[in-house]
């Protein structure tokens, strides 16, 4: 072995060792944290000559939650996507939609103090497929009347303000400068002035104030409560706030089986619905879902 070969080998060994040490010394990137959860829930009742009576039912629902959050010494940027879809079949009826939502939320904060951040928020909501009023049949087609579609409605809220974060599991965002857009991108629904837009118009813009509060905490081992409250008041009609409150209590049975109770409450003065007594007008909308099924968290 020549001296030149020996020196070359020693140099290669030293450089390789230094590179390995440098990799070991480099801490993992903790700026971004990403993940999500996917869940599918099933429910079925099958009856045959059952003396107590009843009807065959089938229900299927799915939920996807994704997040990508950035955190540095002076700023935070939280992003989330929530998609839920479900349907039920009762006896000889066709499948009917029971859940349908798409929610995108993005919030950026710049640190002012340990608990206070200057913030900007984007909140966008719509649905995936058509919604129907099964009690009102279209005389021309014989089909149920369409009352909603994808992007009809869609709600987009932009807000600038400040976030107070006294604890890791709770924060409040107040935006005195906010703009809420109501989009109805379907010609028929737009012509009818659905969801508060002027008849024939597809977009309605409202300037107002926004309050957003979020809570997420593990109450005990494998039991987590998440809750989100949105209150928007347009300055032109400040006493008629739009309120959205969404809560989810999740129970992890094991790595793949989960149970949950979801409660959504919505009130919007501009949305006219058919009440239980068959009158038409604004009303508090409530949706509750109890689900047991398969889930995977990553």
The answer, yes or no, to whether residue 276 has pLDDT greater than 90, is no
Q: Which of 271, 262, 270 is CA-nearest to residue 228?
A: 262
Report, as an integer, the average pLDDT of 189-193: 95
pTM for the predicted model, two decimal places: 0.84
pLDDT of res. 60: 92
State the pLDDT at residue 183.
98
CA distance to 256, 261, 288, per residue, from 221 (Å)? 16, 17, 24
Lowest mean pLDDT among 15-29, 136-150, 206-220: 15-29
Above 50 in pLDDT, residue 6? Answer: no
Per-residue DSSP letter, 236? G
Whether 49 has a pLDDT exceeding 80, the answer reads no
Cα–Cα dist 146/138, whole Å: 9
* pLDDT beyond 70 at 5: no
Asked if 80 contacts 104 with a C-beta cutoff of 8 angstroms, the reply is yes
Model pLDDT for residues 77-119, shown as the tens digit of each residue: 999 999 999 999 988 888 999 999 999 999 999 999 999 999 9
Q: How far is CA 275 from CA 85, 102, 293, in A?
A: 24, 25, 32
Architecture of domain 37-297: Beta Barrel (2.40)
Which of 84, 93, 87, 44 has its CA nearest to residue 62?
84
Domain edges within the chain: 37-297
Higher-confidence residue: 115 or 10?
A: 115
pLDDT over 70 at 283, yes or no: yes
Mean pLDDT along residues 161-188: 97
């Amino acid at each position: 072995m020549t001296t030149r070969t020996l020196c070359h080998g020693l140099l290669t060994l030293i450089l390789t060792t230094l590179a390995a040490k440098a990799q070991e010394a480099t801490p993992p990137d903790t700026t971004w944290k990403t993940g999500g959860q996917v869940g599918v829930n099933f429910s079925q009742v099958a009856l045959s000559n059952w003396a107590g009576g009843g009807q065959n039912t089938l229900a299927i629902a799915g939920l996807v939650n994704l997040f990508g959050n950035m955190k540095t010494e002076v700023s935070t940027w939280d992003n989330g996507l929530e998609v839920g879809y479900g349907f039920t079949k009762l006896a000889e009826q066709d499948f009917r939609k029971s859940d349908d939502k798409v929610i995108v939320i993005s919030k950026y904060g710049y640190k002012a103090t340990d608990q206070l951040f200057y913030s900007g928020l984007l909140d966008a909501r719509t649905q995936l497929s058509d919604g129907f009023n099964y009690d009102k049949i279209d005389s021309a087609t014989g089909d149920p009347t369409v009352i909603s579609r994808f992007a009809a409605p869609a709600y987009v809220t932009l807000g600038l303000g400040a976030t107070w974060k006294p604890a890791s599991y709770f924060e409040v965002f107040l935006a005195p400068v906010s703009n809420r857009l109501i989009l109805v991108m379907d010609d028929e629904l737009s012509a009818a002035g659905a969801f508060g837009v002027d008849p024939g118009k597809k977009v309605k813009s409202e300037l107002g104030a926004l309050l957003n509060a979020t809570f997420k905490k593990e109450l005990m081992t494998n039991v987590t409560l998440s809750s989100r409250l949105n209150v928007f008041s347009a300055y032109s009609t400040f006493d008629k706030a739009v309120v959205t409150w969404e809560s989810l209590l999740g129970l992890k049975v094991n790595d793949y089986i989960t149970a949950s109770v979801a409660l959504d409450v919505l009130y919007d003065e501009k949305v006219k619905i058919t009440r239980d007594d068959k009158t038409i007008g604004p009303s508090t909308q409530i949706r509750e879902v109890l689900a047991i099924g398969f889930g995977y968290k990553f």
